[in-house]
Amino acid sequence: MLDLHRNLFEGLERRLGKIFSFLPITPNQCTLISVLFALISLYFLIKQNLILAIIFFIIAGFLDFVDGAVARYKNIATEMGAYLDTIADRYVEAILLFGMLFLSLPKILLPSYIWIFLILFGSILTTYAKAAAKEKDLVFQELKGGILSRGERIILLIISLILGIFNFFWMAYLLIIIAILTNFTALQRILMAIRINKKTEV
């Protein structure tokens, strides 16, 4: 949903791009550093320190936003940079979900690791549904939309960690909701591709 309203964030993105354009690192290096911060977050998840895990994961997510903002502000955005950013996004999210496996989350209907796996599965399928539709020429423009794209998913995962500080049951319930909505989003994108392709064939 957030990617459909990207224009709302363009002003903020331009300001951040200007503010951080002085950094002595390239946007691609910033992308790689975001993965490093995600790994630090993983370390603290393993150590059961959710507060520090949240802080470092938020930094990772912020750097992921800043790299593109700086690249566009300095007019040095490249296809390779966009590609690396997409790969880093997947790594950061997978690292966070992997870290959650080390938490003592309660079993609600299914073991917590099943719900975490379903989130990862839905995340991968959502991305692949978009990439495959473009690769197979079912659509002419990149598929966007769905009830829970990456932006909302990351925000909800951060909220789940915050809930986990107080109560692991609250965290587990939110993870179940994320798992369901993530896979529903993948289905939405698959149906979008089919519907768009049928229109072009008429």
Provide the whole-model pTM: 0.81
Q: Are residues 125 and 93 in the same domain?
A: no
**Average pLDDT of the residues in 117-134:** 84
Q: Are residues 186 and 138 in the same domain?
A: yes
**Average pLDDT of the residues in 87-113:** 90
Query: How far apart (Å, rounded) are the C-alpha atoms in residues 39 and 17?
Result: 25
Domain assignment of residue 197, given as a range:
107-202
Q: Are residues 114 and 81 in the same domain?
A: no
Q: Are residues 90 and 172 in the same domain?
A: no
Q: Are 19 and 170 in contact (CB under 8 A)?
A: no
Q: Are residues 15 and 94 in the same domain?
A: yes
pLDDT in tens, 159-194: 999 999 999 999 999 999 999 999 999 888 888 877
Amino acid found at 1 = M
The residue from 41, 67, 102 where one domain ends is 102
Determine which of 14-18, 23-27, 111-115, 173-177 has the lowest per-residue pLDDT on average: 14-18
Q: Are residues 97 and 132 in the same domain?
A: no
Domain count, the chain: 2
Query: How far apart (Å, rounded) are the C-alpha atoms in residues 24 and 82?
Result: 20
| Residues β-bridged to residue 110 | 108
The residue from 67, 102, 137 where one domain ends is 102
| Phi and psi, residue 142, nearest 5° | -60, 130
pLDDT in tens, 24-72: 677 777 788 889 999 999 999 999 999 999 999 998 888 877 777 777 7
Give the pair of three-digit tokens for residue 80: 């390779």
Q: Are residues 57 and 43 in the same domain?
A: yes
